[in-house]
Every structure is written in structure tokens, then in C-alpha cells.
């Protein structure tokens, strides 16, 4: 009889990661790898469903039926992304109810960007262009993440996100080329969303708690600062085409580096919002909790109905075979 | 109750979009406004649904209805002018579809009553050769799903827990008085409303009984509920709904979005 030791499992896991093979749900994996993935996927799923709120804020006020349809479809996609991601997390043995409970009790986080308010219609465009743009920059490398179900979910999500990003850009372009009031509305939104979008890549590399281990496990492929720089370089020419200004006097092309230099990010603000002091932290989590609590009777009824009818089906099949 | 004229004059038709002369504007506005207003109400659920699957489902129904509304309103004039620049009294939707969402049971009851009706109506329109046959042929598949979704919830909630049964019954009772209006004749819709009503009652009764619910017994043709919405008489919450929906568009006259 061959005894497979824990060391042998670990060696097989390490070899698979080194060879860029996918780890699948039934494969052995280190507990810390599992925990790290659950944390990251849950945070991602939570961000999708909390992220519905600032945009849903404008569904009932969308200024044309075409824009209303686009926005509703986008918010619906986000609910769909939440579903894929909770399902992907479930393959690691943690169910949606448990993860939602952690969200509702503040034990798991969602992206801090959604703690900023959507004050005008142009914010819908700025979120599409900048926030979805930053998310895509972060997420495209996740399509090659070492954990199979997460990587596959991300392929689908990234396709939809890039569609949203183009829609946001097009919305801003329409405003920028519209009336002076519309142009000002677009500029104001970009002024407010630019810096928080840069913060979406997380703290600088030397201050990032989970980065090194995630890189070694190939959950993460590029550092926070690398991705942030890539995003800035993409946005600068796009802002020019939009006819809008990015609110950073230090933003300029650096010939030597082959990248744009940009100003210092206010990490004190980032930490403050993360701690719960952003403009909408309480509002977002309260709405989520309220929806969950007010929906409890619906979920209970569905479960009760399913139980009753499963029992009935069981009785029928027993009678049929008797 | 004074009926306002139900002709082309009630809708602004100043836009470049050519109205199809074969289409009866009264009928197109009635169907288009039903879809527009119900879609808006369903859109209010975004971020508030009881379970993630329902976020997807309610948005899906809202999007289908919005798509139908856009086609129907475009038959009459410019869709955005019609949606955002008409006053409350010019809307031709049923009072049923403008009723506030209430709890999930109210939303489901409203959807159930409406979708059963819309499915029967669109199936008939699709089978005919009138101006709505093409649209109805496409929409009837969407509406079949809306009906199926609503009926499943009627049954689950009716036959779920004591609380869900009570809420579902209350919602069905409360909206009952708005259902008579669906069977008032509409100028330009070549269907037999009485035949439609008989089929509707049959289906509604069948589903409510399956859900262990009681078919409501109240009046369905009260003075304000019977045909009032079609004549531009609405309920109080509708004005606030429009205020929210139209505010941004109206704040920037002539702007493109």
C-alpha cells in the first residue's frame, strides 16, 4: 500500500502552480491558499452587489430610454457577476449565505470605491469609464489566475466589464460634446472619480498585506503599482479624446520611464474610507442589510415550499415503487 | 369622470420620427405606456430584491418591457418626448401597472395579473394581421416567461409559510380592484375584451387555487379603476413617479443624451 504523504500533495500543488496549470476544486491545496482565494473572491462578489447601488441610484432618473435600458442591463450584469463569483467561491466549500453574513456583519469587505456617492448623471459615465476601466485592468490578469473556477468566471466577467467601460466612455463623450452644462457635469464627475479610481489598485506595493504570497501562488500576476501605472497610461489619451481634464497638475509624460508620472495619492483618505468613514459606507451596508432582512420571509417561503414538495415527490416515488 | 380625447392630439408628435399611419395611436400609447410604466416600477427594485436571482429576474422583465415600450412609443412619435415630456394626464397606462412596488408579494401580484393579461392579448394580436402583429409575435415569448416567473412565485408564496400566504393573499386582494380596467375596450385593438377576460379569470383562478389562495371577490369595475388610466386619470403616486423619471430630462431642454 502506498501512503501519500502531505509533503507529496504539497509538492504536486507547487509543481502545478509552477507549470501554470489550473488548480481545480477537488485538487489538494494548502489551507492558506484556499482561505486567501475565498477572501478575495468573496470581496469581489460583495463589490459586485454593493456596486449595484450607486448606479441603481440613477435608473429611475436616466434621461433617455436608451440610456435607461443600458443602465438597467449593466446593473443586472453586476448581479449576474455576483452570482458567478459566489458560485465560484462555493467550489471551495464556503456558501453564499455564510459570505453574505460576513458582509452584513462587516467581517468581509467590498471595494471602497462604492463608498463614494453618485451625485449627477455624469457619475454613471465616470463609473463606467474609470471604475470599470480600473476593474478591468485589475481583473484581466485574473483570467490566468491559478484557481480554475475563478479564472473561468473572470473570462466572462471581463468581457461584460469591457462593454460597460465603452458604454461609460460613450456616455461621457456625449455629455462632453453636449451643452455647456452637460460638459461641466462630465468634468465634475471625472474630477471626483479620478483619485478614488487610482486607489482601487490598493496600497503601494511596499504596504500591501497580501500581495507577495498571492503573487507566489499566481492568484495575482502583477503588483498594485504596476497595474495602477498601466491604468494611468491608458486613461491619459482617452481623457484627451473625451475633451476632459484629469485633475492632477503633476500628470505628465516621462520620456525616460516611458510612462506618465502622476501626483501623490492621498492614502490617508483611502485608509479613512476603508475604516468606514467614507461618505456612503453606512448607507451602502444598511441598504444591503435591509434588502436581506426584508427579503427573509420570501427566502423562507421558497425553502418551505421546496421542502413540502420534495417530501410530496418522495412519497409519490415511494408509492410508485411499492 | 370626464374622459379626455383619446386621439393623436394627446401625444406630442412634433418629432422627426414618422408615425406609422396604419397604427392607431390610442392603442399604441396604451400598450406602450403599460410597458414603460411597469418597467420603471420594476427598475426601482434594483439593489433591493430579496435574493440575488431576483435582482436578475426583475431586471430582465423590466428590460423586456422597456424594449416593448420603445418600439410601441416609436410608432407614435419620438420615444423620449413621449416618455419624458408628457404630463401625467396624457399617459394612457392602466392604473394597475403604476401601483407602487409595496413588498415582494405586491410586486408579484401586480406582475401576475398584468402578465396573464398581456400574454393573452399579445397572443391574439400576434395571430392577427393588424399593425401590432409583428411586435406582439416577438414579445409574446418574453411575456410567457414573465407570466411563468410570476406564477411560480404566486404558488411558492401562497403555499410557503403562514406569513408568505398571508402577504400574498393581501397583495392579491389589494390589487384586485385594478384588474377590471384591463378588459375595457381600447380603440384600435382588435380583440374581444370579454373573451379575454373570461380566459384571464380562468387562468388566475387556476393559479390562485394551486397556490392555496382565495380568489378575491371585491369589485373590479369601480368608478376610478375601470378605464380611468386609459383616459389619463391616474392614482396619486403616479405623479411622483413621473416627477422622478422626467426631472433630469426636463432640466436640460433640447439636450441630447
pLDDT over 90 at B194, yes or no = yes
HEC secondary structure over B128-196: CCCCCHHHHHHHHHHHHHHHHHHHHHHHHHHCCCHHHHHHHHHHHHHHHCCCHHHHCCCCCCCCCHHHH
Q: What is the mean pLDDT of residues A262-268?
A: 97
CA distance A42 to B42: 28
Q: Which residue of A has its CA nearest to B71?
A: A65
CA distance A135 to A43: 13
With cell 490617508, the residue in question is A268
What band does A284 get if pLDDT is binned at 50, 70 and 90? very high
Give me the residues of B, 214-253, that contact A with CB < 8 A.
Answer: 244-245, 247-249, 252
Q: What percent of chain A has pLDDT over 90?
A: 87
With cell 451602502, the residue in question is A284
Nearest by CB to residue B248, choosing from A63, A79, A291, is: A63
A19-78 pLDDT, tens per residue? 999 999 999 999 999 999 999 999 999 999 999 999 999 999 999 999 999 999 999 999
Left (φ > 0), alpha (ψ -120 to 50) or beta: where does A94 sit?
Answer: beta
B82-119 pLDDT, tens per residue? 999 999 999 999 999 999 999 999 999 999 999 999 99
Cβ–Cβ contacts within 10 Å for residue A174, how many? 17
Query: Any bridge partners for residue A259, and if so which?
Result: A254
Interface contact flag, A297 B257, Cβ < 8 Å:
no
Interface contact flag, A178 B256, Cβ < 8 Å:
yes
> How many helices and strands in chain A, by DSSP H and E?
13, 2
Interface contact flag, B161 A297, Cβ < 8 Å:
yes
Angle between helices A296-321 and B162-176 (to 10 degrees): 110
Interface contact flag, B62 A72, Cβ < 8 Å:
yes
ipTM: 0.92
With beta carbons less than 8 A apart as the criterion, state whether B140 and B126 touch: yes
* A-interface mutation test, from B37, B38, B44, B52, most A Cβ less than 10 A away: B52
**A61-70, A218-227, B131-140: least confidently modelled range:** A218-227
B57-70 pLDDT, tens per residue? 999 999 999 999 99
Q: What percent of chain B has pLDDT over 70?
A: 89
What band does A196 get if pLDDT is binned at 50, 70 and 90? very high
pLDDT over 70 at B2, yes or no = no
Give me the residues of B, 26-45, that contact A with CB < 8 A.
Answer: 36, 40, 43-44
Give me the residues of B, 89-148, that contact A with CB < 8 A.
Answer: 103-104
pTM: 0.93
List domains and CATH numbers for chain B: 25-251 (1.20.1260.10)
Interface contact flag, B43 A79, Cβ < 8 Å:
no
Chain A hits for B40, CB-CB cut-off 8 Å, are 60
CA distance B234 to A68: 23
Q: What is the mean pLDDT of residues A84-91?
A: 95
pLDDT over 80 at B7, yes or no = no
* B-interface mutation test, from A65, A84, A123, A171, most B Cβ less than 10 A away: A65
Q: Give the per-residue pLDDT at A218.
A: 84
CA distance A74 to B46: 11
Q: What is the mean pLDDT of residues A194-208?
A: 92
Rounded to the nearest integer, the mean pLDDT of chain A is: 93
A148-185 pLDDT, tens per residue? 999 999 999 999 999 999 999 999 999 999 999 999 99
DSSP 3-state assignment of B25? Answer: helix
Q: Give the per-residue pLDDT at B17.
A: 47
Interface contact flag, B164 A301, Cβ < 8 Å:
yes
CA distance A52 to A54: 6
Q: What is the mean pLDDT of residues B171-194?
A: 93
What b-and-e string marks burial along A72-82, b requiring 16 or more CB atoms within 10 Å of the CB? bbbbbbbbbbb
A135-154 pLDDT, tens per residue? 999 999 999 999 999 999 99
Q: How far apart are the first and last CA of chain A?
A: 44
Q: Which residue of B has its CA nearest to A185?
A: B252
Chain A hits for B70, CB-CB cut-off 8 Å, are 65-66, 69
- The whole-angstrom distance between B32's CA and the closest CA on chain A is 12
CA dihedral A233, A239, A240, A243 (to 10 degrees): 180
Amino acid at each position: 500500500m502506498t501512503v501519500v504523504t502531505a509533503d507529496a500533495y504539497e509538492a504536486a500543488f507547487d509543481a502545478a502552480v509552477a507549470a501554470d496549470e489550473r488548480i481545480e476544486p477537488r485538487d489538494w491545496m494548502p489551507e492558506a491558499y484556499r482561505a486567501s482565494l475565498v477572501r478575495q473572491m468573496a470581496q469581489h462578489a460583495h463589490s459586485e452587489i454593493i456596486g449595484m447601488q450607486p448606479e441603481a441610484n440613477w435608473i429611475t432618473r436616466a434621461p433617455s430610454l436608451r440610456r435607461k435600458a443600458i443602465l438597467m442591463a449593466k446593473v443586472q450584469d453586476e448581479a449576474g457577476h455576483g452570482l458567478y463569483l459566489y458560485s465560484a467561491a462555493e467550489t471551495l466549500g464556503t456558501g453564499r449565505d455564510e459570505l453574505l453574513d460576513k458582509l452584513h456583519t462587516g467581517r468581509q469587505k467590498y471595494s471602497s470605491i462604492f463608498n463614494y456617492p453618485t451625485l449627477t448623471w455624469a457619475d454613471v459615465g465616470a463609473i463606467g469609464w474609470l471604475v470599470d476601466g480600473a476593474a478591468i485592468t485589475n481583473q484581466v490578469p485574473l483570467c490566468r489566475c491559478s484557481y480554475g473556477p475563478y479564472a473561468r468566471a473572470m473570462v466572462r466577467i471581463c468581457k461584460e466589464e469591457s462593454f460597460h467601460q465603452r458604454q461609460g466612455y460613450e456616455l461621457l463623450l456625449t455629455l462632453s460634446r453636449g451643452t455647456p452644462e452637460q460638459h461641466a457635469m462630465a468634468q465634475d464627475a471625472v474630477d471626483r472619480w479620478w483619485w478614488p479610481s487610482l486607489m482601487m489598485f490598493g496600497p503601494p506595493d511596499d504596504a500591501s498585506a497580501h500581495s507577495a504570497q498571492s503573487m507566489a501562488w499566481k492568484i495575482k500576476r502583477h503588483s498594485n503599482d504596476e497595474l495602477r501605472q498601466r491604468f494611468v497610461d491608458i486613461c491619459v489619451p482617452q481623457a484627451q479624446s473625451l475633451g476632459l481634464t484629469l485633475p492632477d497638475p503633476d500628470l505628465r509624460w516621462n520620456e525616460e520611464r516611458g510612462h506618465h508620472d502622476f501626483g501623490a495619492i492621498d492614502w490617508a483618505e483611502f485608509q479613512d474610507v476603508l475604516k468606514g468613514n467614507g461618505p456612503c459606507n453606512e448607507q451602502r451596508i444598511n441598504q444591503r442589510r435591509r434588502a436581506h432582512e426584508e427579503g427573509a420571509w420570501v427566502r423562507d417561503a421558497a425553502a418551505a415550499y421546496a421542502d413540502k414538495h420534495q417530501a410530496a415527490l418522495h412519497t409519490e416515488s415511494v408509492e410508485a415503487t411499492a | 369622470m370626464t374622459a379626455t380625447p383619446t386621439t393623436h392630439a394627446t401625444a406630442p408628435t412634433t418629432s422627426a420620427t414618422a408615425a406609422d399611419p396604419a397604427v392607431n395611436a390610442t392603442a399604441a400609447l396604451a400598450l406602450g405606456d403599460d410597458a414603460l410604466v411597469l418597467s420603471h416600477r420594476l427598475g426601482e427594485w434594483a439593489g433591493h430584491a430579496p435574493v440575488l436571482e431576483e435582482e436578475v429576474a426583475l431586471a430582465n422583465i423590466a428590460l423586456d418591457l422597456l424594449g416593448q415600450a420603445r418600439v410601441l412609443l416609436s410608432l407614435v412619435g419620438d420615444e423620449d418626448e413621449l416618455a419624458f415630456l408628457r404630463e401625467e394626464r396624457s399617459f394612457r397606462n392602466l392604473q394597475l401597472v403604476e401601483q407602487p412596488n409595496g413588498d415582494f408579494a405586491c410586486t408579484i401580484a401586480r406582475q401576475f395579473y398584468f402578465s396573464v393579461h398581456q400574454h393573452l392579448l399579445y397572443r391574439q394580436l400576434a395571430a392577427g394581421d393588424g399593425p401590432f402583429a409583428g411586435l406582439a409575435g416577438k414579445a409574446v415569448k418574453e411575456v410567457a416567461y414573465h407570466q411563468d416567473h410570476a406564477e411560480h412565485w404566486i404558488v411558492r408564496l401562497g403555499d410557503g409559510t403562514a406569513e408568505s400566504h398571508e402577504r400574498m393573499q393581501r397583495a392579491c386582494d389589494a390589487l384586485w380592484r385594478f384588474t377590471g380596467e384591463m378588459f375595457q375596450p381600447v380603440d384600435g385593438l382588435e380583440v374581444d375584451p370579454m373573451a379575454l377576460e373570461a380566459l384571464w379569470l380562468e387562468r388566475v383562478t387556476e393559479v390562485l387555487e394551486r397556490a392555496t389562495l382565495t380568489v378575491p371577490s371585491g369589485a373590479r369595475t369601480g368608478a376610478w379603476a375601470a378605464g380611468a388610466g386609459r383616459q389619463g386619470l391616474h392614482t396619486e403616486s403616479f405623479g411622483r413617479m413621473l416627477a422622478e423619471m422626467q426631472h433630469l430630462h426636463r432640466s436640460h431642454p433640447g439636450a441630447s443624451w
